[in-house]
Structure 1
Amino acid sequence: MLIAVDIGNTNIVIGLLDGTRILGTYRITTSARHTSDEYGLMMLQFLALKGLKAGDVDDVIIASVVPQVMHSFRSSVVKFLDIDPMVVGPGVRSGLSIRMDDPKSLGADCLADCVGAYELYGGPILVADFGTATTFNYVDARKAITAGLISPGLQTAVGSLVSGTAQLPEVEITRPGSILAKGTKTAMQAGLYYSFLGGIERTIDQFRAEIDEDFKVVATGGLASVFKDDTDRIDIYDPDLIFKGMAIIYRKNA
């Protein structure tokens, strides 16, 4: 069994994989203050929920965009599972070439998403990941990542709006019943939702305008489910894309 760990800016998401089958996924709030013992105990608890123990784990692969957390989490894997984990990054074979100005700057999560998208759905393909940041990465028919875009995520936009104003409250991120809002909270929800949805569609349209080949669009990430049914620009919704990509990267390197 393989444990795949996605260390993001907001959450650490842990996937338990039996071959290509995902047994379960679990979320931990990302915090540099957690110790290796805390992370280790959490992993053992997640395994126990599936009737598993440390000895059932064959290997661990980690994709991280938060360097401050990597030391503690990697130490927890070594200490509690007796495994030196594989880390997605420079030197790890992915099967894709990165044709960017600075290939090393591509996030490990974006690379795993792109690998999963190309291997599962073919190319060319545009990979949209809706997390703390919203990222778009394009993989052409020749298995090359050739372009990327980064913008604030919806949760980030909510936090900015609340922290930058005196009276606006925290609101749940959800699809509003109507754009004709009649209260502060519903006005915020409608404004955030429709402006973000419009931004998604405009971004995909611009990729199509500047790329001289047809492509599919796959959406993933924690907030993709909010928009997936409200636009015809998204062809595929895969909430577990990063874990599938990490499993493929693991098989290419193990």
Structure 2
Amino acid sequence: MYIVFDVGNTHMCTSILRNDGFVLETFRKSTDEKTTEDEFFTFFKSMLEVNEIQIDEIKGMMVSSVVPMVTQMLKFFAKKYFNIDIFIVDMDKHLPFVFEEGNNSKGMGPDRIIDIVQALKEYPDRNLIIFDFGTATTYEVLKKNVYIGGGIFPGIRTTFNALFGRTARIPKVDYCEIDTVLGKDTVEQIQCAIFNGYIGQVKYLIEKIKEEVGEDFFVIATGGLSKIMGEKVEEINICSSRLSIRGIYTLYKMNEKINK
């Protein structure tokens, strides 16, 4: 068995994988920078017990994290309780893609790296646009295995929260899927404008990427809102909610072979 941690700004996903990389189960908890390795072990142990997994069945651990404090905690956790040096996704690892001249690869987040790694494995020899809908929404654009650029903008829930936080009289409004663009009251007007505006933004970006590059692309969506966006944005070819988890494992195995 392998344990994979995918740590985002809002949620942390812990997945149990078979030796062949098949995802058996995934648990989500809120990301908390103050969690200690000992506190996390309590959660982790209960997760193993529910799935009837023995500690000695674990062959390796790997993490993709955009929260440095949680990365450090997981390093201590893996070493203290399992005597395992955890595999950490970063730009120092061997990667299956290169950057087009003019792109600055420094600081590319591990969440973006693993999306690209898995997309290239599943859809080789294709031009790709990869959207990851999370706290922030990112998109990566590749011509075959060459990274030519991308973008970052606020996630849809982040947009809702920002509007409430920066205005005095607008109420806090929950995210809602709403088809009409003509809201009948303040709450509905916020919901319909942000939701439908977000869909329009994604559609426009895909259109402009294709126009700017002058080629066709296969469009992949992942992340929390990928299913909804896939239903609303016909330009998205496929939704893959576990792209990131599989990408961590793929990168781990790729580097394991090289380092042997």
With normalisation by structure 2, the TM-score equals 0.91
Whole-angstrom distance in 2 between the partners of 1:51 and 1:168: 49
Cα separation, 2, equivalents of 1:61 and 1:82? 13
Residue in structure 2 matched with residue 129 of structure 1 by the alignment: 132
Task: Determine the structure 1 residue equivalent to 2:15.
Answer: 15
Q: Contact conserved, 1:40 with 1:77, CA < 8 A, in 2?
A: no
8 Å contact kept, 1:174–1:226: no
CA distance in 2, matches of 1:76, 1:117: 30
C-alpha displacement of 1:177: 4.7
Structure 1 unaligned residues grouped into runs of 5+ = none
Q: Secondary structure at the match of 1:200?
A: helix
Identify if the C-alpha distance between structure 1 residues 119 and 45 changes in structure 2 by more than 3 Å, giving closer, same or farther: same
**How many residue pairs are counted as aligned between the two chains?**
253
Within the alignment, does 1:120 sit opposite 2:122 as a pair?
Answer: yes
Deviation per residue, 1:144-168 (Å, 9 max, x gap): 2221111111121111011112343
Q: CA deviation at 1:234?
A: 0.4
Contact 1:9 1:65 in 2 (8 A): yes
Tell me the distance in 2 between the aligned counterparts of 1:251 and 1:81: 20
Identity, in percent, stands at 28
How far did residue 60 of structure 1 move? 0.8
Task: Find the aligned partners of 1:47 and 1:212 in 2 and give their Cα distance.
Answer: 49
User: Equivalents in 2 of 1:50, 1:183: separation in Å?
Assistant: 47
Compute the RMSD of aligned alpha carbons: 1.6
Alignment of 1:1-254 (within 5 A): 1-18=1-18, 19-99=20-100, 101-122=103-124, 123-141=126-144, 143-254=145-256
**TM-fit CA distance, 1:198:** 0.6
CA contact (8 A) 2:5 2:63 kept: yes
Local SS of the residue matching 2:106: helix
Q: Does the 8 Å contact 2:164/2:173 carry over to 1?
A: no
**For the residues of structure 2 that align with 1:159 and 1:30, how far apart are their CA atoms?**
18
- Alpha-carbon shift at residue 68 of structure 1 (Å): 2.4
- Paired letter, 1:9: N
Alpha-carbon distance in 2 for matches of 1:46, 1:145: 38
CA shift digits 1:228-254 (9 cap, x unpaired): 101111001000000111111011012
Instruction: Kindly state the Cα deviation for residue 180 of structure 1 after the two structures are TM-superposed.
Output: 2.9
Query: What is the CA–CA distance in structure 2 between the aligned matches of 1:140 and 1:121, rounded to whole Å?
Result: 12
CA contact (8 A) 2:115 2:243 kept: yes
Q: Any conservation in 1 of the 2:11–2:29 contact (CA below 8 Å)?
A: yes
2:34 maps to a residue whose letter is: R
- Residues 54 and 80 of structure 1 are in contact (CA less than 8 Å); yes or no, is this contact kept in structure 2? no
Between the aligned partners of 2:35 and 2:64, the Cα distance in structure 1 is 18
For residues 118 and 103 of structure 1, the distance between their equivalents in structure 2, rounded to whole angstroms, comes to: 18
What letter corresponds to residue 128 of structure 1 in structure 2? F
Structure 1 position 189, deviation (Å): 1.6
CA contact (8 A) 1:175 1:193 kept: yes
Which runs of 5 or more residues in structure 2 are unaligned? none
In structure 2, relative to structure 1, the CA distance for the partners of 1:47 and 1:170 (3 Å cut) is farther
1:173-208 Cα offsets, whole Å, 9 max, x none, are 231153332233322221110111111011111100
Partners of 1:153 and 1:233 lie apart in 2 by 19
